[in-house]
């Protein structure tokens, strides 16, 4: 069975309708567990003190902000190449969620940086590329909203999204390319993690919680976009008939 069948709005609505309650339930459960664990049951770090608790929000928000943009890039690319409208709607629906997580990453980074670095903000490569990523999110949403014709809006905003993808990748890998005030990666898929278990496990729970929250909100918003598109088609048909 081809993956492209999900590009059919009816098929997407059927599958996402069945998946959404499970994903949303998982997100709520993981978020509740992660918040209680990270706030109440993790010790103060020997260097950072209690401010380490900010990182249980900051790290998942920042990772999901970048991953959210990469979801938009892939969806936009598929939309441009294969002309699947659901792909454009996935990118459109992901933007406000990603922008929210980016803002959260910026804010939590600032309130953590003030006591730890002695400054709310520095213009280093990681922070600057992350701020530019936030502006791309805003620009993408503004472009969709500014163009009345949805086909044209989808195409132009997809192109803008692809350009912004450079900053998403830059933001992801800036700490490896340049010497930045922002520290390097503490966790990785290869298992080369620099955290002790008492911080690592609650952080993993929060990463899963943010991922599930992103997916749940994305499914909900794509379903809304599909319904709005259908409503628009009916209104158009009525006005022509």
Partner 1 sequence: MIEALDMGKYAANIWAAYGCFALIVGGLTIASLRASARAKRELKDLEARQGRARRKAVSDPS
Q: How many residues bind partner 1 (CB under 8 A)?
A: 40
By CB under 8 A, name the one of 30, 61, 205, 208 that touches partner 1: 61
By CB under 8 A, name the one of 46, 188, 234, 240 that touches partner 1: 234
CA pair distance 95, 135, nearest whole angstrom: 11
Which positions from 189 to 218 touch partner 1 by CB under 8 A, shown as an x/- string?
------------------------x---x-
Asked if 54 and 202 touch (Cβ cutoff 8 Å), the reply is no
**Among residues 172 and 223, whose Cβ is nearest to partner 1?**
223
Q: Give the residue carrying structure tokens 């044209």.
A: 152
By CB under 8 A, name the one of 37, 77, 96, 147 that touches partner 1: 96
Q: Provide the 3-class DSSP secondary structure of residue 49.
A: strand
45 DSSP assignment: B
CA pair distance 208, 211, nearest whole angstrom: 5
**Among residues 20 and 166, whose Cβ is nearest to partner 1?**
20
Footprint of partner 1 on residues 126-185 (CB under 8 A)?
none
Of 24, 8, 9, the C-alpha closest to 220 is 24
By CB under 8 A, name the one of 26, 29, 51, 186 that touches partner 1: 51
For the chain, the straight-line distance linking the first and the last C-alpha, in angstroms and rounded, comes to: 38
Stretch that binds partner 1, among 57-65, 77-85, 142-150, 170-178 (CB under 8 A): 57-65
Residue 17 within binding range of partner 1, rule CB under 8 A = no
By CB under 8 A, name the one of 3, 40, 179, 189 that touches partner 1: 40
Residue 14 within binding range of partner 1, rule CB under 8 A = no
By CB under 8 A, name the one of 69, 112, 134, 144 that touches partner 1: 112
Asked if 233 and 112 touch (Cβ cutoff 8 Å), the reply is no
Helix (H) or strand (E) holding 189, with range, is: none
Of 97, 100, 133, the C-alpha closest to 219 is 97
**Among residues 84 and 221, whose Cβ is nearest to partner 1?**
221
Asked if 86 and 6 touch (Cβ cutoff 8 Å), the reply is yes
Asked if 191 and 185 touch (Cβ cutoff 8 Å), the reply is no
Residue 39 within binding range of partner 1, rule CB under 8 A = yes
CA pair distance 8, 3, nearest whole angstrom: 10
Return residues touching partner 1 (CB under 8 A): 31, 35, 39-41, 44, 49-51, 53-54, 57-58, 61, 96-97, 100-101, 103-104, 107-108, 111-112, 114-115, 213, 217, 220-221, 223-224, 227-228, 230-231, 234-235, 237-238
């Amino acid at each position: 069975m081809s993956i492209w069948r999900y590009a059919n709005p009816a098929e997407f609505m059927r599958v996402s309708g069945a998946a959404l309650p499970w994903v949303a339930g998982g997100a709520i459960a993981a978020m509740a567990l992660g918040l209680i664990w990270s706030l109440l049951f993790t010790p103060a770090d020997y260097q950072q003190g209690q401010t380490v608790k900010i990182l249980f929000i900051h790290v998942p928000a920042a990772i999901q902000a970048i991953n959210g943009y990469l979801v938009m890039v892939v969806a936009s690319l598929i939309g441009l190449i294969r002309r699947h409208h659901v792909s454009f709607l996935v990118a459109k629906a992901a933007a406000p969620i990603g922008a929210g997580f980016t803002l959260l990453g910026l804010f939590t980074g600032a309130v953590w940086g003030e006591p730890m670095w002695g400054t709310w903000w520095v213009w280093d490569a990681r922070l600057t590329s992350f701020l530019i990523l936030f502006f791309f999110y805003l620009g993408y949403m503004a472009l969709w909203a500014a163009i009345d014709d949805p086909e044209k809006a989808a195409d132009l905003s997809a192109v803008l999204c692809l350009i912004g993808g450079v900053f998403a990748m830059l933001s992801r890998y800036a700490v490896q390319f340049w010497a930045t005030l922002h520290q390097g990666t503490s966790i990785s898929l290869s298992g080369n993690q620099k955290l002790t278990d008492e911080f690592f496990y609650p952080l993993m729970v929060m990463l899963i919680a943010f991922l599930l929250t992103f997916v749940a909100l994305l499914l909900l918003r794509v379903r809304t976009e599909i319904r709005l598109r259908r409503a628009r088609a009916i209104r158009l048909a009525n006005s022509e008939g």
